[in-house]
Amino acid sequence: MDTKRDMQQKNPWHRKLIVILTILFIVGIIVIVSTAIIQNKPLPQKMKYGIVLDAGSSHTSLYIYKWPAEKENDTGVVQQHHACNVKGPGISSYSAKTDNAGKSLSECMDLAKTSIPDVRHSETPVYLGATAGMRLLREQDDMASENVLTSVANTLRSYPFKYEGARIITGQEEGAYGWITVNYLQGNFQKNSRFFGPFQDTQASVTLGALDLGGASTQITFVPQEEIESEENSLHFRLYGKDYNVYTHSFLCYGKDQALNLTVAINLKIDEPDNVQENPCFHVGYSKTISLKNLYKSPCTAKQKKNLRMDSVVLNGTGNASKCRENVLKIFNFSDCTSSSCSFNGIYQPHIYGSFGAFSAYYFVMQFLNLTTHHETSLAKVKEKMEYFCSTPWASVKQRFPTVKEKYLSEYCFSGNYIITLLENGYSFTEDNWNTITFIKKIGNSDAGWTLGYMLNLTNMIPAEAPSSPPLPYGGYVAIMVIFSLLLLALCTIGYIFFGKPACNSQKHII
Ligand SMILES: O=P(O)(O)OP(=O)(O)OP(=O)(O)OC[C@H]1O[C@@H](n2cnc3c(O)ncnc32)[C@H](O)[C@@H]1O
Ligand SMILES: [Ca+2]
């Protein structure tokens, strides 16, 4: 009887206690979840910026990149914010009036000033990298190339950004950074660095080879299947926890402008009748006079200089693609290979392996010729199309493309045939692996080229080891917190219904 009375006295308190505890529990969970969510909420993103000027042989482009400050070391976060094409020729063309080299950059630099928020100016690095045009000028006239660099450096220093240098980059750097750019933009480093357990393979898996065709030089860069034989063509990277052994070579003088000069020079006969060269790489009806002084000015053609009495030569188009390729083939030397395999001019090259992204002039030319959709276009089809295009008379070509710059238009026949010869005979691409080449201009919003890779490297934005990032994205984290809290609540309610009610029932019984 005593116990019964006790229970009767305690039961109302028991029930109240359970209700109070449940309320407190629910409030507690709500407070914990809300605090965790608010505390972990990503802050509004602060953006950082970087500027790289690509001072190429034919022109200069300015690229502005941006990325969220707190995600610096993630792969794929840097994006192209803006690009500006400098008016006029490349900086190496200002060798006689070096002051103008710097001045030519002002318009694009002014644009950079307005497109980057003022508060970020002083922390925004600006780099200028000059490529093959300046390499050739340095060979020809060291002093002039120094003066051009001083002039552009003075202009860049006069802006409120963080000036980080203007220099001539090596062909090896050009190839390496082009490869880093395309693989960074493709997200390949990220894919490869995913952790698959303790026996994760540290050797890299899938990457995209990079083919860059400029005006004065061309680069080929890829991860071969076999071991790389020559140290000067090999790059070792450790990126995001993976090792990469990359083959690269830059051919100075094999950009498409220098290759055209070289082709004309090599095919020039001493006894050219009436100073006229029948040229199969130009359309029938096209004619162009070139001064021999200009033709032999570059170190690329200097060795071809013949004892000619004439000052100029007239190129008369005969429009024949296969004959054009025969002429182009003469600028490649396929003997003198001292390695197990070579591309040309005695340069070691491992066998072509994997997929390739071909950009710059590869893209401009193949895009114009409608030859970029390689999945339908075999190498044989490409040659067939070139035959047809080259044999089209110049007057018809001009009529069909009235808005295309005449210099570009007149050279597409040569350029297309040069690209085929370089890829097929030079690098040994075949009908079977032709479709591994994709002609690209951009990946996402960013241009393919060496500039992004250059900036990523100089700002230390590509770490050797994979950065430790939170295992869950923010959305996933919130979802898990909410789902598990609700689950806990449900469990408590069920517990209360099943174990709390009988207690109440027994209380009734007792009463
Ligand atoms: O890398 P380097 O050798 O220093 O040269 P670059 O950087 O100036 O070379 P680009 O890739 O910008 O251009 C390569 C060539 O393509 C030419 N080019 C640019 N736009 C073109 C277009 O729309 N159609 C055809 N050719 C084009 C340009 O004149 C060059 O001869
Ligand atoms: Ca270039």
Residue-wise pLDDT for 377-404, tens only, equals: 899 999 999 999 999 999 999 999 999 9
pLDDT of residue 421: 98
Lowest mean pLDDT: which of 73-87, 96-110, 244-258, 393-407?
Answer: 73-87
Report if residue 399 sits inside a domain.
Answer: yes
**Total domains in the fold of the chain:** 2
% of the chain residues with pLDDT over 70: 88
Structure tokens at 434: 């032709």
How far is Cα 255 from Cα 261, in angstroms, rounded to an integer? 10
Report whether pLDDT(18) > 80: no
My answer on whether 419 and 501 are in the same domain is: no
- Which residue, 363, 370, 340, 140, is CA-closest to 228? 340
Domain co-membership, 343 together with 492: no
> Considering only CA atoms, which residue is closest to atom 16 of ligand 1?
361
Distance of CA 75 to the CA centre of its chain: 13
Same domain assignment for residues 316 and 353: yes
Q: Answer whether residue 169 is part of any domain.
A: no
Q: Whose CA is nearest to atom 29 of ligand 1?
A: 58
Catalytically active residues, by annotation: 174
Q: What is the pLDDT of residue 274?
A: 73
Atom of ligand 1 nearest to the CA of 256: 31
**Of residues 505 and 76, which shows the higher confidence score?**
76
Instruction: Find the 409 Cα to ligand 1 centroid distance in Å.
Output: 13
pLDDT of residue 267: 95
What is the pLDDT confidence band of residue 192, given thresholds at 50, 70 and 90?
A: low
Binding-site residues for ATP, in ranges, read 215-219
Best CA proximity match to 235, nearest among 457, 429, 461:
457
Q: What pLDDT band is residue 9 in, cutting at 50, 70 and 90?
A: low
pLDDT of residue 178: 98
pLDDT band at 216 (very low <50, low <70, confident <90, very high): very high
Residue 506 lies in a domain: yes
Domain residue limits at 301: 204-449
Residue 286 shares a structural domain with residue 324: yes
Tens digits of per-residue pLDDT, 41-60? 666 678 999 999 999 999 99
Q: Tell me the CATH number at 402.
A: 3.30.420.150
CA 375 to ligand 1 center in whole angstroms? 25
Residues 321 and 391 in one domain: yes
pLDDT of the residue at 352: 98
> Which has the minimum average pLDDT: 60-64, 246-250, 496-500?
496-500
292 φ/ψ angles, rounded to the nearest 5 degrees: -70, -25
What is the per-residue pLDDT across 461-511, written as a single tens digit (0 to 9) for each?
Answer: 888 888 766 666 667 777 777 787 788 777 777 777 776 654 444 343 332
> Do residue 365 and residue 501 come from a single domain?
no
On whether both 360 and 503 belong to a single domain, the answer is no
Quote the pLDDT of residue 510: 33
Q: Is the model's pLDDT at 202 over the cut of 60?
A: no
Atom 9, ligand 1: which residue's CA is nearest? Answer: 214
Residue 346 within any structural domain of the chain? yes
What letter would DSSP give residue 92? G
Residues 486 and 385 in one domain: no
Burial annotation 66-81 (CB, 10 A radius, 16+ → b, else e): bbbeebebbbeebbbb
Considering the domain architecture, whether residues 422 and 480 belong to the same structural domain is answered as no
CA–CA distance, 427 with 425 (Å, rounded to integer): 6
443 and 478 housed in the same domain: no
Q: 376 and 420: one domain?
A: yes
Flag whether 342 is in a domain.
yes
Ligand 1 site, CB within 6 A: 56-59, 90, 131-133, 214-217, 255-257, 360-361, 364-365, 368, 408
Domain membership flag for residue 482: yes
Q: Among 33-37, 137-141, 151-155, 278-282, which stretch is predicted with the lowest mean pLDDT?
A: 33-37
How confident is the model at residue 15, as a pLDDT? 76
pLDDT(186) > 90: yes
Q: Is residue 158 in a domain?
A: no
pLDDT at residue 272 tops 70: no
Average pLDDT of the chain is: 89
What is the CA(324)–ligand 1 centre distance, in A?
Answer: 20
Q: What is the rounded CA–CA span in Å between residue 93 and residue 418?
A: 24
Q: Is residue 439 part of a domain?
A: yes
pLDDT higher than threshold 90 for residue 87: yes
CA–CA gap between residue 326 and residue 335 (Å, rounded):
17
Residues 480 and 440 in one domain: no
Alpha carbons within 13 A on the beta-carbon side of 294: 10
* Spacing of C-alpha 312 from chain mean position: 40
Among 418, 449, 480, identify where a domain stops: 449
